[in-house]
Amino acid sequence: MASTTQNVQFDAKKALETVSEQFQTFQILNEEGEVVNEAAMPNLSNEELQELMRRMVYTRILDQRSISLNRQGRLGFYAPTAGQEASQLASQFALEKEDFILPGYRDVPQMIWHGLPLHQAFLFSRGHYQGNQIPEGVNLVSPQIIIGAQYVQTAGVALGMKKNGSKSVAVTYTGDGGTSQGDFYEGINFAGAFKAPAIFIVQNNRFAISTPVEKQSAVQALAQKAVAAGIPGIQVDGMDPLAVYVAVRDARLCAINGEGPTLIETLTYRYGPHTMAGDDPTRYRTSELDNEWEKKDPLVRFRKFLEKKGLWSEEKENEVIESAKDDIKEAIKKADAAPKQKVTDLMSYMFEEMPQNLKEQYEIYQAKESK
């Protein structure tokens, strides 16, 4: 019997458009602090709303002071955070103490609000070993410097949580450039295959150092990359703290209910340079683009929202500012009082079992340090 075949023409462009339509930006507050999505409003108390704003203001001051301390030579490596407060702090605000954060190098604010003492954050910036000694009961690892590597680690931590029957999640962050790394795909694919309780957050601040997102990937939304791993993906207005909070809250519920991981893309912007190590954003960003995103400032937006509800005032904000300055002053003093790091300290904490060649070098430096 003769067989017949049906020719089917595949329209790749239409297929891509169909996928793109599924990734509309989730937003609750517009730039004027007005609620545009009442149905999605989280059930946060007035005190919780005020606390989230307090953390955002405090962190903006911390960023300003950290930049000054870096310029004075009192801090080492520093990646500015201004502009990303909603993305960073509202996401952490949706977590529980038992949840595990695996941060990137710009994610020190989340670490602080998850329990890392401020003076240790300063010591981390200086490269001091005490900055990486996370206190007992604080579920963090040291910030990952290798771009995207934390995604693979997060998949492993989340799988361990699942095997232990833990009702907690592993959360990680990377930038838009991190989604171009192989580790990014390996991490979300592994977690998706095993339905590991992970939340993968991509903070799309539009530039991987100086490379614009449009030159990094052909996708219209980085959240679309979740499709390849068979996991949910959502694009969120990363300058809207309430939208970020809801997205992470819901992703956490899915994770602890056994539904697997979620990829969240937050559309945000860093107002400063990539790091304080000589980056000049004026060489690759226009003043028009900077002005456009300054109008979306998460602090301004949330301040307007709270003021309309009678929950915030200039007096409250000034109290937070002064409190932050006092805390920073004390923390830098405490960091200054830490013992000077020795070569033998670095070698001692690098390996559980020191290799023979390093043992020999260790003895040489130990003898020098004892003189």
How do residues 300-333 score in pLDDT, each as one tens digit?
999 999 999 999 999 999 999 999 999 999 999 9
Whether 308 and 247 share a structural domain: yes
pLDDT in tens, 195-205: 999 999 999 99
Residue 13 domain-assigned? no
Catalytic residues: 270, 274, 284
CATH number, domain with residue 171: 3.40.50.970
State whether residue 203 is helix, strand or coil: strand
* Beta bridge partners of residue 204, listed in sequence order: 267
Structural domain total, the chain? 2
Residues 295 and 369 in one domain: no
Predicted local confidence at residue 115, as pLDDT: 98
- Tell me, yes or no, whether 192 lies in a domain: yes
What's the one-letter identity of residue 329?
K
Q: Provide long-range contacts, Cβ within 8 A and 24+ apart, for 277-283.
A: 277/77, 279/209, 279/210, 281/207, 281/210, 283/210
- At residue 22, the pLDDT reads 81
Domain hosting residue 266, numbered range: 19-33+41-272+285-339
For 234, counting Cβ atoms within 10 Å of its Cβ (0-12 exposed, 13-18 middle, 19+ buried), the class is: buried
User: For residue 179, what pLDDT band results from cuts at 50, 70 and 90?
Assistant: very high
- 342 contacts: CB under 8 Å, gap ≥ 6: 365, 369
Same domain, 178 and 86: yes
Count how many Cα atoms sit within 13 Å of the Cα of residue 230 in the half-sphere of its side chain. Answer: 11
Q: How far apart are CA 33 and CA 166, in angstroms?
A: 37
Helix axes 343-350, 356-369, angle to 10 degrees: 150
Task: Give the pLDDT confidence of 104-146 residue by residue, as tens digits.
Answer: 999 999 999 999 999 999 999 999 999 999 999 999 999 999 9
Contact 17, 219 (CB under 8 A): no
Tens of pLDDT, residue by residue over 37-75, are 999 999 999 999 999 999 999 999 999 999 999 999 999
Do 104 and 181 sit in the same domain of this protein? yes
* Adjacency order of strands within the sheet including 262-267: 100-102, 170-175, 198-204, 262-267, 233-237
Split at pLDDT 50, 70, 90, the class of 17 is confident
- Contact of 163 with 155, CB cutoff 8 Å: no
The arithmetic mean of pLDDT across residues 94-103, rounded, is 98
Residues 363, 241 share a domain:
no
Task: State whether 142 and 196 are in the same domain.
Answer: yes
The percentage of residues in the chain with a pLDDT greater than 90, rounded to a whole number, is 90
Going by pLDDT thresholds of 50, 70 and 90, the confidence category of residue 9 is low
Q: What is the pLDDT of residues 203-236, one digit of tens each?
A: 999 999 999 999 999 999 999 999 999 999 999 9
**Would residue 14 count as lying in a domain?**
no
- Please provide residue 243's backbone torsions phi and psi, each rounded to the nearest 5 degrees: -65, -40
Q: Which of 121, 187, 112 is nearest to 156 (CA)?
A: 187
Measured between alpha carbons, how far is 23 from 27 in angstroms, rounded to an integer? Answer: 12
pLDDT bin (cut points 50, 70, 90) of residue 7 is low
Please tell me the distance from the alpha carbon of residue 206 to that of residue 290, in angstroms, as a whole number: 11
Pair (289, 368) in one structural domain: no
User: Does 352 lie in the same domain as 204?
Assistant: no
Helix (H), strand (E) counts: the chain: 15, 7
Question: Both 150 and 173 in a single domain?
Answer: yes
Please indicate, yes or no, whether residues 183 and 79 belong to a single structural domain of this protein. yes
Q: Is 12 within the bounds of a domain?
A: no
Both 364 and 291 in one domain: the answer is: no
Q: Is residue 4 part of a domain?
A: no
Q: Report, in angstroms and rounded to the nearest whole number, the Rg of the chain calculated over CA atoms.
A: 23
For the chain, the straight-line distance linking the first and the last C-alpha, in angstroms and rounded, comes to 95
Whether 132 is covered by a domain: the verdict is: yes
Spatial CA neighbour of 188 closest among 146, 155, 163, 232: 155
Average pLDDT, the chain: 95
Q: Indicate whether 178 belongs to any domain.
A: yes
My answer on whether 99 and 113 are in the same domain is: yes
Domain for residue 197, yes or no?
yes
- The 10s digit of each residue's pLDDT in 347-366 is 888 888 999 999 999 999 99
pLDDT attached to residue 364 = 93
Q: What is the dihedral of CA 287, 61, 86, 48, to 10 degrees?
A: -150
